[in-house]
Amino acid sequence: MSTRQRWLRIALPLALIAVATAGAAWSPRLDLPLTTGTWSAPGGVSSGLLLWYDTAETGTMSLAPKLRYWFDKSGQAQHAQVSSGQFQPYPTLASGVAGLQFSGAAVQLPASIPLEPMTLMLVFRQANDGLSHPLVGSSTRFSGISMEFGRLRVYSSGQSVGASTARAATGLTITTVRTATGAADGFQYNGGAETQFSITTTESMNWIGGMFVAGTARYFVGTIMEVVIWGRSLSPSELQAAHRALGAKWGISVP
């Protein structure tokens, strides 16, 4: 067999494999790591982890060039999707780090997340502190978590059931909401002092970056970097560990 014949025997099958897998190149990169648990939860706090979206892992986002799917790193297969349209979130830089710019659309969760009990940590940057920004909410009801003029609020069926102190600084922050069944709930910015409130609700959330407010869908305007939700109230030591991990990752100063 000539050198040319041997080369063709090797090259042709490789070319066919490349053509056959080009349209599904995302499959091994996105599906296999999710099922094999290759990521360690922030601060090692894995118990009760419900979903975890992260723009630092660009392989977990399907961009064409705007966001179509956001793959869940928690291992719970809570992969999210965005309808194709003018306002799909798109990759951008904010405070010198990569994120997704939101301006008129929400990321639809595949399952509803109860408002109580849970712990939400959201790394984001607002476009303007003087606006109302639904962070996580319901697509059909006035329930969820919103940043309003620098103050964080929790809504249950249209009623404000808790509000934080005003945020002292703009820019990239880790915003935390922790709710517990039959116990005190709390807000934190960048792992600082917790502002307590009290909520008793059966409401749930299924949107990232949106909420159905008084019969109208309203959307977050700004950049989201990371969303982590546990289905329970984290302990003080767990909160500290997760905050420190996220702070080190995104260059945010935490206690």
Beta bridge partners, 246, equal none
Residue 181 lies in a domain: yes
Show contacts of 178-186: CB within 8 Å, 24+ apart. Answer: 178/118, 178/119, 178/120, 178/233, 178/234, 178/239, 179/115, 179/116, 179/117, 179/118, 179/119, 179/154, 179/233, 180/116, 180/117, 180/233, 181/116, 181/117, 181/233, 183/233, 185/116, 185/154, 185/233
Q: What six digits make up the tokens of 81? A: 């999707």
Q: Which pLDDT score, from 0 to 100, does residue 147 have?
A: 86
Each residue of 200-247: pLDDT tens digit? 999 999 999 999 998 999 999 989 999 999 999 999 999 999 999 999
Residue 14 lies in a domain: no
Instruction: Please tell me the distance from the alpha carbon of residue 95 to that of residue 101, in angstroms, as a whole number.
Output: 12
Residue 164 lies in a domain: yes
Parts of the chain with a pLDDT under 70? 1-38, 127-131, 166-170
Instruction: Please tell me the distance from the alpha carbon of residue 6 to that of residue 131, in angstroms, as a whole number.
Output: 67
Residue 51 lies in a domain: no
Number of domain units in the chain: 1
Instruction: Please tell me the distance from the alpha carbon of residue 120 to that of residue 173, in angstroms, as a whole number.
Output: 13
Under DSSP, is residue 201 helix (H, G, I), strand (E, B) or coil? coil
Give DSSP secondary structure letters for 16-49: HHHHHHHTTTHHHHHHHHHHHT--PPGGG--TTE
Q: Which pLDDT score, from 0 to 100, does residue 96 have?
A: 77
Q: Which of 168, 122, 123 is nearest to 145 (CA)?
A: 122
Burial class (CB in 10 A: 0-12, 13-18, 19+), 125: middle
Which domain covers residue 133, as residue numbers? 106-117+124-218+242-255
Residue 19 lies in a domain: no
Q: Which pLDDT score, from 0 to 100, does residue 6 have?
A: 42
Q: Which pLDDT score, from 0 to 100, does residue 70 have?
A: 93
Q: Which pLDDT score, from 0 to 100, does residue 26 have?
A: 31
Contact indicator for 120, 114 with CB cutoff of 8 Å: no
Residue 158 lies in a domain: yes
Q: Which pLDDT score, from 0 to 100, does residue 231 have?
A: 97
CB-based contacts of 217, cutoff 8 Å, min separation 6: 106, 139, 210, 211
Residue 82 lies in a domain: no
Residue 110 lies in a domain: yes
Instruction: Please tell me the distance from the alpha carbon of residue 231 to that of residue 180, in angstroms, as a whole number.
Output: 10
Each residue of 22-48: pLDDT tens digit? 332 333 233 334 344 468 999 999 999
